[in-house]
Amino acid sequence: MSDKTAACSFCGQEQTAHIPLIAGMNGHICEACVRLAHQVISTWSRKRSMSEPLKTPPKPLQIKAILDGYVIGQDTAKETLAVAVYNHFKRLNLETDKPRICTRTDKSVVELDKSNILLLGPSGTGKTLLASTLARIVGVPFVIADATTLTQAGYVGEDVESIIARLLDSADGNKELAEWGIVYIDEIDKLARSGENSHGTRDVGGEGVQQALLKLVEGTTVKVPAKGRKDQAPVMLDTRNILFIVGGAFSGLEKLLEKRLKPGAKGIGFHSTHTPDDPKADKLRLFSEVQPEDLRHFGLIPEFIGRFPVITALHELDEDALVRILTEPQNALTKQYQQLFALDNAELEFTNDALRAIAQKAIAHGTGARGLRGVLETLLRKLMFTLPSEENVARCVVTEDVVNNEADIVLEYHELEATPSGGTQNLASLQSTA
């Protein structure tokens, strides 16, 4: 029997009472080298999974150009998201080439950390639309979740780990691919904790969820139950490299901002007499002045705010922006309704004044771009009810008077006249009203 002490065949670590070694046919390996080998093999698998997205990662200008095709305005938010996604791909490239290994001795290698993003702005400004459009662009798994459905573990509802399970499903079960995904959590402002007079009751759908999201956003290992056979081991998924984007309307935050930004105003609250020089411009700029302290006063806990270093504001949409939303995007609302009417062999036309009147109504409703569809549905409902039963309708014209309920939609009919051969042909259009 040899008295020679066994040593790791990779790093030379000698076996002791506290450092056991795994023995093989011709050598030994220590625990540290086993972990190192696992990390290296994981990067090989991830590199194979990410070979397609990494071939041609989209550049920020390309990402913004695609977003411009679906979302009007909000250039600052688009640029922020474009840079975040591009940096996400760069981090992905670096880690596949030079994986983050705990035993690395090369001090020249700089490890890149992620910068999570918080989007805030009034309802109907395009936060969710930006996220859903971004999901079409990126080459990594993308999941959109709703914060209002989340509760603390052990209570009725979904816990935060369910988001990671959905991300794994989006990656078709590929663990390595899911660990490089992007998660967007909407309605994050609904998690604002209750006031200080909550008498110690548990806020399981508010502050409790914020606490549960802390480690998930920062980076932790989540156990995702395996689907299929019950005897399958759960999947352990690392969230350290998942990019998190959260968004919310933060209704009521304006009052906190006005209070902080107008210290010279006489009086407090309703007694304030300060009037800005340009109220419209002042309101558009208000959300761009948000500081972490404002979010803390709103009800987000400091630890949660600190995990989202990039805060981007979306401003309210004015009349010109809403008119552009009606006409310019690839899936603009007017184009959608024109397509619906075309299926009934009729043209739908909006005058410029009518588009502005529709935008003004949406602004009056206070729901942003979401209010446009409601205005159009109310405006066209009666015509869409009778049009399929009409014959020879050539064109439907919506004017400003129609939007203001001062006139009916003008219908133009094809005039049919007999031809010498006994058939009919279209000669002109006759006007009528719906």
CA 218 from chain center: how many Å?
Answer: 19
Exposed/middle/buried for residue 40 (C-beta within 10 Å: 0-12, 13-18, 19+):
exposed
33 is in an annotated binding site: yes
129 is in an annotated binding site: yes
Alpha-carbon distance of 63 to 87, in angstroms, equals 12
Amino acid (1-letter code) at residue 30: C
CA-based nearest residue to 171, from 138, 218, 128? 138
8 is in an annotated binding site: yes
128 is in an annotated binding site: yes
Contacts of residue 219, defined as CB under 8 A and 6 or more positions apart, other chains included, come to: 238, 239, 240, 241
102 is in an annotated binding site: no
Cβ neighbours of 211 (radius 10 Å): 17
Provide the token pair at 387: 């049009």
334 is in an annotated binding site: no
The b-or-e profile of 162-198 (16+ CB within 10 A means b, else e) is ebbbbbbebbeebbbbbbbbbbbbbbbbbbbbeeeee
125 is in an annotated binding site: yes
11 is in an annotated binding site: yes
58 is in an annotated binding site: no
126 is in an annotated binding site: yes
Q: What are the φ/ψ torsions at residue 433 (nearest 5 degrees)?
A: -125, 145
For the annotated binding site for ATP, the residues are 122-129
Known binding-site residues equal 8, 11, 30, 33, 122-129
Binding site residue list for Zn(2+): 8, 11, 30, 33
